[in-house]
Amino acid sequence: MVSERYRPNLIDGVDLLIHEPARYNIMALLYVLQSADFVFVQKQTGLTPGNLSAHIRKLAAAGYLKVEKGFAGNFPRTDLTLTAEGRSNFETYRQKMIGALGSLTKKQ
Amino acid sequence: MNQNEDLKKIEQKAFRATYQDGLYDICYGIFLLAWAVVPVVRDAGISMFLAALPFLAIPAVLLLAGKKYITAPRLGSARYGKERLSRGTKMFGFGVVSLAITYALIVIVSVWGVRISGFNGPGGMTVPLIESLAIFVGVSVLAYFSEFKRLYIYAVFFAGGIPLAEILYSQVGTPADELIAFGIPAVGIIIVGVVFLVSFLKNNPLPEREVANGI
């Protein structure tokens, strides 16, 4: 058993919903934009439509994302926007990761 | 690199995606082509305004329609943050100031006859060089604010054509001087744009309705 002294608990309390790489990419993209449609997010993140849909559902269910459906002409369009909660949680996640990674010393 | 720089890079990558379609290249190319073709048409007795009109209208229509019907359905669309909007406002402000300074310099040089060590006068290079410098600075700043890197190269074509036309004037006369100085780079820019557009269409087929509809 690993001793308590060596347990790597640097990122305790980090939001694991955001910590997953694909969801991090979605959140980071929407964090720097006001909003984007589904196709734009898919192209930028390189995820497949099905995979992106699954992650968006999780983020929307947690209240991090607002999903709005509409039409651009005759073409369906799904707009994605970070909610205030999502934006704030992403900012908290960033700060925690900066703190956690910043506290690691360089390998000698 | 810190996290803020990472986020900035994500935003820049997303924004620069808008130049993948080559539409801006084609529009700048057509705009430069006007500088080559308008003198020819003008010499044929048609008013300069009428001659220049298609070269302003075609890029505008191409850009608006192209972005709406070609780019947006394939690449999606996004609304950018406040910083990006403020960059756009700064770009517009600088464009207006730059245009005003250019015209003021041209008026000063041509009306008051400023001389630079005998380099001015008929066939002189003072006015072309000042115009060229002002256009180079203006287009480069446009490239900087719009983050359209190829526009730095086009700035050289736009600016370089003016003194080149002046040099060619004594060799080939008018309007061949402007046709060569502006026409060749304009066609080159349009070709670059078309290559980007074809590659964009090839790499980004129209998504299915279900995909566009998302979840």
ipTM score of complex: 0.76
Tens digit of each residue's pLDDT, chain B (215 residues): 455 668 888 888 888 888 999 999 999 999 999 888 888 887 778 887 788 888 889 999 999 999 999 999 899 989 988 888 888 788 778 878 877 777 777 666 666 655 554 445 555 777 788 888 888 988 898 898 888 999 999 999 999 998 898 888 888 887 888 889 999 999 999 999 999 999 999 999 888 776 666 66
In the numeric block, which tokens belong to residue A11?
């990122």
Question: Which residue reads 């910590």 in tokens?
Answer: A19
* CA-based nearest residue in chain A for residue B210: A76
- Chain B residues with CB under 8 Å of A35 CB are 78-79
Alpha-carbon distance of B171 to B179, in angstroms, equals 13
In this complex, do A36 and B77 lie within 8 Å of one another by their Cβ atoms? Answer: yes
pTM for this structure?
Answer: 0.80
User: Does the beta-carbon distance from A37 to B77 stay under 8 Å?
Assistant: yes
What are the φ and ψ backbone dihedral angles of A63, each rounded to 5 degrees?
85, 15
- B89: Cα separation from own chain's centroid: 18
Burial B48-81 (b: 16+ CB within 10 A, else e): eeebbeebeebbeebeeebbeebbbbbbbbbebe
Report the distance separating Cα B68 and Cα A88, nearest Å: 33
Burial class of residue B189 (count of CB atoms within 10 Å of its CB; 0-12, 13-18, 19+)? buried
* Phi and psi angles of residue B171, each rounded to the nearest 5 degrees, phi first: -90, -45
Chain B interface disruption, residue of A27, A32, A82, A92, most B CBs within 10 A: A32
Query: Distances in Å between the alpha carbon of B59 and those of A12, A13, B29, B49, B135?
Result: 55, 53, 9, 16, 19
Measured between CB atoms, does B75 come within 8 Å of chain A? yes
